[in-house]
Amino acid sequence: ETIIEKLVSLLDDDKSWVRRSSMNVLSSVEGITETQIPFEKVSENLLNKDSKVREGAANLLKIYSFENIDRIFSSIISLLGDESGDVRNTTVDVMVKIIQEIGISKVLSKLLKSLSDEYSIQTQQSIAIILGRTIRYEEEKIKKRVIALLKIRCEMSQDPIICEMLTKLRES
């Protein structure tokens, strides 16, 4: 049994700290692929009551993303609205990394659809932060589209984070 297989088997451990530690080690292994970690194991941990376990699972999502973003997108959206700020921040970082890898075009319309009042303000803030960190390097047409939508969300929600991201994008 390889070390990776052993770590994967620990994703089902009864103790939260063991699961979390296993996920943290797995997410830092260079060159690990989605075939080595069954998505179901990560998916189960995304729903764990312990926010540190959810955060560890969120960090592992980056290994699935590059091939098939559609498969993990709904998980990402729910994590972007997680009650734990650490889980949200980790998911934002993972999403920024995914976008840097695969480009914004594969996820932009899904992100923009989720930037509506059908989703929690935390989800909208997280998406605004992702857009603020990735869109400024995109072509003008994409920037204008995002700025227009952020302007509407800022006006409707009066949320300081969404409005701050709008201002940052306008200045870039």
| CA 34/CA 60 separation, integer angstroms | 9
Residue 37: what pLDDT? 92
Digit-by-digit pLDDT tens for the chain (172 residues) are: 699 999 999 999 999 999 999 999 999 998 888 889 998 899 999 999 999 999 999 999 888 766 677 778 888 999 999 999 999 999 999 999 999 988 998 899 999 999 999 999 999 999 999 999 999 889 999 999 999 999 999 999 999 999 999 999 999 8
- Own/partner contacts of 65-68, CB < 8 Å, gap of 24 or more, are 65/94, 65/98, 65/101, 65/102, 66/98, 66/101, 66/102, 67/34
**132: which residues sit within 8 A by CB, 6+ positions away?**
164, 165, 168, 169
Which domains occur in the chain, in start order? 1-102 (1.25.10.10), 104-172 (no CATH)
| CA 88/CA 82 separation, integer angstroms | 6
* Residue tagged 């409005």 (tokens): 163
Residue 63: what pLDDT? 84
